[in-house]
């Protein structure tokens, strides 16, 4: 069998398995594409697809890309890849313009002239953008110059607030990415993981670290957009797996120390679903003051009872807290190995004071699409997709480069992370893969 036929055979088998796995979800119907309604088993961020289905998604996508790459001339592969930034701008633009709402208002499908009049732009230019996005099956051209919503355009309605995230990523994220090459070669920045050396600081903020820049009075609008739009929308895409794919319930009434808690949205979500847990929120003074104001009203009584408490704690200093679970989400990604090790060593020293204490690390793990030793392999790339890494391999890598471009930091592979944890005196007990691009590593102190 030829390579293409081998991949197609694998694809066919995996699509059949996917349909079977999805037959128990939603109303049991297989995925649709052109209808203007969400496909609930896959598109509902408040739930997660069944595991068996989720595991097939990456395999199918990887093999589809293999087919696409195999039939594409090299220069055309470069051109479509390098111009993908235009797709980013197009998606952000239709979201900001409110094209989905306009089509809704015009009855579910409408001419370019009517959509353009509704959103206040030029129909010819809008058509060119919409065709780019329709190539991703977001919108459908139902007749020449007539566009309709599809399953994938509904998430762009203004009420979803997706446009905050899409606009920010395409504009500030795009500007930062544009200087990536300079950032990788400049002697000051190439080996640095500090936020003031990130591409964003070289392109947008005149040398200021991201949060120092957006905290300035002149950037108040950007900060508000980030805290009220960008971050909540992104967090929604990981919330359900974080709650369901790690056995928080088995921790019973454990005391959790949330190190570098930030706005603590994940802690507050976990506490609402697993009310027996008690939770200590640790961060620097300004963040502790802020997080006190962010406690959801349903948890107010738990603050009063002391089940949820706040501690100012610098994680580079010895940690006097005592707890059964030490939870670090997106903390060590901020640092190079030497600083990450300092943070972990302080946690390990405190963990030694509580028998059986465990550390739960929630991160994005850089992912390999496929590790293929031999050319002329007799199977499909999806059969070489490594396990110990973030799910959604492509999205995980896009996200880690995006966070690097904005904030610097060192996002790691699973192997890099395990080496760091072991250097800090920890022993990994389990890797919890999630149905999203983050995952948990659980460890205990090595005896
Ligand atoms: C990337 S954020 C992660 C926040 C949170 N864990 C989350 O998942 O949203 C890192 C957090 O570490 C805090 N932080 C930075 N330096 C710190 C330090 N030296 N000691 C304690 N917290 C610190 C920041 O204020 C910020 O809230």
On whether both 250 and 383 belong to a single domain, the answer is yes
Q: Both tokens of residue 4?
A: 């293409």
Residue ID of nearest Cα to ligand 1 atom 4: 262
Map residue 331 onto helix, strand or coil. coil
**Residue 142 falls within a domain, yes or no?**
yes
115 Cβ below 6 A of ligand 1? no
Weakest-pLDDT range from 19-23, 172-176, 278-282, 443-447? 172-176
424 Cβ below 6 A of ligand 1? no
284 Cβ below 6 A of ligand 1? yes
On whether both 298 and 378 belong to a single domain, the answer is yes
Cα distances (angstroms) measured from residue 2 to each of 5, 12, 56, 368, 378: 5, 15, 23, 24, 9
Minimum-distance ligand 1 atom for the alpha carbon of 315: 20
260 Cβ below 6 A of ligand 1? yes
Cα distances (angstroms) measured from residue 180 to each of 77, 196, 264: 21, 14, 31
User: Which of 436, 435, 387 lies closest to 414, judged by CA?
Assistant: 387
pLDDT value, residue 376: 65
- Per the CB < 8 A criterion, the answer to whether 428 and 418 are in contact is yes
How many A from CA of 249 to the centre of ligand 1? 25
**Residue 76 falls within a domain, yes or no?**
no
On whether both 318 and 426 belong to a single domain, the answer is yes
User: In sequence order, which residues have a C-beta less than 8 Å from that of residue 346 and are 6 or more positions away?
Assistant: 315, 316, 317, 318, 319
Q: How far apart are CA 379 and CA 6, in angstroms?
A: 6
User: Given ligand 1 and candidates 194, 264, 284, 288, which is best to mutate, with the most ligand atoms within 8 Å of its CB?
Assistant: 284
**Residue 58 falls within a domain, yes or no?**
yes
Mean per-residue pLDDT for 73-97?
96
On whether both 33 and 128 belong to a single domain, the answer is no
407 Cβ below 6 A of ligand 1? no
pLDDT value, residue 75: 98
- Per the CB < 8 A criterion, the answer to whether 307 and 336 are in contact is no
Domain count, the chain: 4
Question: Would the pLDDT of 91 be above 80?
Answer: yes
261 Cβ below 6 A of ligand 1? yes
Note the pLDDT tens digit of each residue in 277-327. 999 999 999 999 999 999 999 999 999 999 999 999 999 999 999 999 999
Q: By residue range, what is the domain housing residue 203?
A: 162-227
On whether both 421 and 313 belong to a single domain, the answer is yes
Q: Both tokens of residue 168?
A: 């920010």
Note the pLDDT tens digit of each residue in 163-219. 999 999 999 888 998 899 999 999 999 999 999 999 999 999 999 999 899 989 999
Residue ID of nearest Cα to ligand 1 atom 8: 329
On whether both 106 and 61 belong to a single domain, the answer is no
DSSP 256-322: EEEET-TT-HHHHHHHHH-TT-EEEEEE-HHHHHHHHTT--GGGHHHHHTTSEEEEE--TTS-----
Interface confidence (ipTM) of the complex = 0.99
CATH code assigned at 252: 3.40.50.150
Cα distances (angstroms) measured from residue 233 to each of 70, 155, 160, 227, 265: 35, 11, 8, 10, 12
Of 158, 178, 211, the last residue of a domain is 158
Note the pLDDT tens digit of each residue in 402-434. 999 999 999 999 999 999 999 999 999 999 999
On whether both 64 and 90 belong to a single domain, the answer is no
331 Cβ below 6 A of ligand 1? yes
How many A from CA of 180 to the centre of ligand 1? 25
334 Cβ below 6 A of ligand 1? yes
How many A from CA of 261 to the centre of ligand 1? 6
On whether both 45 and 89 belong to a single domain, the answer is no
Cα distances (angstroms) measured from residue 165 to each of 141, 211, 231, 422: 26, 17, 8, 36
Contacts by residues 160-165 (CB-CB < 8 Å, ≥ 24 positions apart): 160/233, 161/229, 161/232, 161/233, 162/95, 162/233, 163/92, 163/95, 163/96, 163/98, 163/229, 164/225, 164/228, 164/229, 164/230, 164/233, 165/229, 165/230, 165/233, 165/234
**Residue 77 falls within a domain, yes or no?**
no
pLDDT value, residue 26: 84
Q: Both tokens of residue 177?
A: 């990415």
**Residue 78 falls within a domain, yes or no?**
no
On whether both 241 and 222 belong to a single domain, the answer is no
On whether both 271 and 387 belong to a single domain, the answer is yes
Question: Would the pLDDT of 377 be above 70?
Answer: no
How many A from CA of 392 to the centre of ligand 1? 25
**Residue 35 falls within a domain, yes or no?**
yes
Minimum-distance ligand 1 atom for the alpha carbon of 286: 25
On whether both 269 and 407 belong to a single domain, the answer is yes
Mean per-residue pLDDT for 46-67?
95
Starting at the edge strand found earlier in the chain, the sheet holding 109-111 runs: 109-111, 146-148, 140-143
Of 44, 71, 98, the last residue of a domain is 71
Angle, in degrees to the nearest 10, between helices 393-407 and 51-70 = 80
How many A from CA of 417 to the centre of ligand 1? 18
Of 43, 71, 99, the last residue of a domain is 71
CATH code assigned at 153: 1.10.10.10
Note the pLDDT tens digit of each residue in 340-374. 999 999 999 999 999 999 999 999 999 999 998 87
Q: How far apart are CA 11 and CA 63, in angstroms?
A: 7
On whether both 360 and 279 belong to a single domain, the answer is yes
pLDDT value, residue 288: 95
């Amino acid at each position: 069998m030829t390579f293409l036929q081998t991949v197609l055979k694998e694809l066919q088998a995996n699509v059949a398995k996917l349909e079977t796995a999805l037959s128990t979800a939603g109303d049991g119907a297989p995925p649709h594409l052109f209808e203007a309604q969400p496909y609930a088993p896959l598109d509902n961020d408040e739930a997660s697809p069944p595991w068996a289905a989720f595991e097939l998604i990456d395999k199918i996508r990887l093999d589809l890309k293999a087919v696409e790459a195999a039939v594409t001339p090299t220069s055309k592969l470069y051109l479509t890849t390098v111009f993908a930034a235009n797709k980013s701008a197009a998606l952000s633009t239709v979201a900001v313009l409110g094209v989905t709402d306009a089509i809704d208002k015009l009855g579910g499908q409408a001419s370019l002239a009517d959509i353009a009049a509704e959103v206040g732009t030029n129909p010819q230019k809008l058509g060119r953008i919409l065709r780019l996005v329709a190539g991703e099956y977001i919108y459908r051209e139902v007749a020449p110059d007539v566009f309709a919503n599809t399953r994938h355009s509904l998430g762009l309605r203004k009420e979803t607030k997706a446009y905050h995230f899409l606009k920010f990523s395409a504009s500030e994220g795009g500007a930062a990415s544009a200087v990536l090459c300079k950032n990788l070669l400049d002697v000051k920045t190439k080996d640095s993981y500090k936020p003031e050396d990130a591409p964003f600081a070289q392109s947008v903020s005149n040398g200021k670290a991201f949060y120092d820049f957006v905290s300035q009075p002149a950037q108040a609008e950007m900060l508000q957009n980030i805290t009220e739009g960008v971050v909540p929308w992104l967090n929604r895409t990981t919330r359900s797996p974080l709650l369901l794919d790690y056995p928080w319930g088995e921790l019973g009434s454990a005391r959790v120390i949330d190190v570098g808690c930030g706005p603590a949205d994940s802690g507050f979500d976990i506490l609402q679903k697993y009310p027996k847990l008690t939770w200590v929120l640790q961060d620097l003074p300004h963040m502790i003051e802020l997080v006190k104001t962010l406690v959801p009203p349903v948890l107010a009584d738990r603050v009063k009872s002391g089940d949820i408490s706040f501690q100012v704690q610098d994680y580079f200093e010895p940690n006097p807290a005592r707890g059964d679970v030490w939870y670090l989400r997106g903390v060590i990604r901020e640092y190079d190995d030497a600083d990450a090790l300092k943070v972990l060593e302080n946690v390990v020293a405190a963990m030694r004071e509580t028998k059986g204490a465990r550390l739960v690390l929630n991160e994005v793990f850089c992912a390999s699409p496929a590790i293929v030793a031999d050319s002329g392999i007799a199977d499909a790339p999806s059969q070489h997709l490594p396990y110990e890494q973030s799910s959604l391999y492509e999205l995980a890598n896009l996200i880690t480069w995006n966070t690097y471009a904005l904030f610097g930091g060192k996002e790691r592979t699973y192997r890099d992370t395990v080496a760091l944890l072991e250097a800090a005196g920890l022993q990994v007990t389990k890797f919890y893969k999630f149905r999203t691009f983050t995952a948990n590593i659980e460890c205990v102190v090595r005896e």
